[in-house]
Amino acid sequence: MALIQCKGSTMEWFHSNERQPERSKSGLASSDEIRSAFAKQRHHLYWIALLITGGDTLANLAVVNASALSANYSSVFRDWLNGWATYATVRAAIREVHGLISAAARCLEQSSTEGSDDDVLSDDQIASLRQVDPQEIIAALDPLERSALVLRGIQHASIADSALLLGVSGRVVAVAYSYALRWKRERTDAHAALSEHHLDSRV
């Protein structure tokens, strides 16, 4: 489920400070069901949080905070649990490094590069990205570029919704996402060339 499919309800929840009672009727998930959804997706949620935050401690903290906050305050439809867990984790991870994201955005605001609403990543491309050492991605891209890659590329959020979550302009998100995609293409091309060289050397 793409992040935006449950955006309306999740955005409303994040602006609410009232503790919601346990609800298990009318299709709403209970606190236990919400915690279970986080537990089942733990590896994926950690990976998403790690890409955004760039550190193991902050990534774990984002997942834990997202799970606890969701279980304590949220009334979420069961059908939206998977998308909700990802959204809440992304939001928590962004909060952990928001200062770094804002700093990177200020640099890009001065850039003459024009971004575009590039295509999102396919399932196969996302699966391929999962095979890359996260530390390589973290070293190559700054927090804003990684966040744009997660939001637009992996979660298929629009540029506008990504900008809203990150607290930056749509143009900055588009430029950051373009940079992330360029790195991904260059890495893919380099690995393809290396594989071809190895094959030629065996002939």
The residue among 9 and 83 whose pLDDT is bigger is 83
Q: Domain range for residue 109? A: 3-202
Measured CA to CA in angstroms, residue 70 lies from 31, 33, 136, 148, 184 at distances of 8, 11, 31, 23, 33
pLDDT in tens, 91-130: 999 999 999 999 999 998 877 676 666 689 999 999 999 9
pLDDT at 40 over 80: yes
Q: What is the largest CA-CA distance in the chain?
A: 69
10 Å Cβ neighbour count for 201?
7
- CB-based burial label for 57 (10 Å; 0-12, 13-18, 19+): exposed
Question: What type of residue sits at position 63?
Answer: V
SS3 118: coil
Name, in order, each residue with C-beta under 8 angstroms of 104's C-beta and a sequence gap of 6 or more: 142, 143, 144, 145, 176
pLDDT in tens, 41-71: 999 999 999 999 999 999 999 999 999 888 7
Q: What is the pTM (predicted TM-score) of this model?
A: 0.81
Token match 């929840």: residue? 13
User: How many domains in the chain?
Assistant: 1
Q: 98-109 and 81-96 are packed helices; what angle lies between their axes, rounded to 10 degrees? A: 70
pLDDT in tens, 143-183: 999 999 999 999 999 999 999 999 999 999 999 999 999 99
Name, in order, each residue with C-beta under 8 angstroms of 8's C-beta and a sequence gap of 6 or more: none
pLDDT for position 172: 95
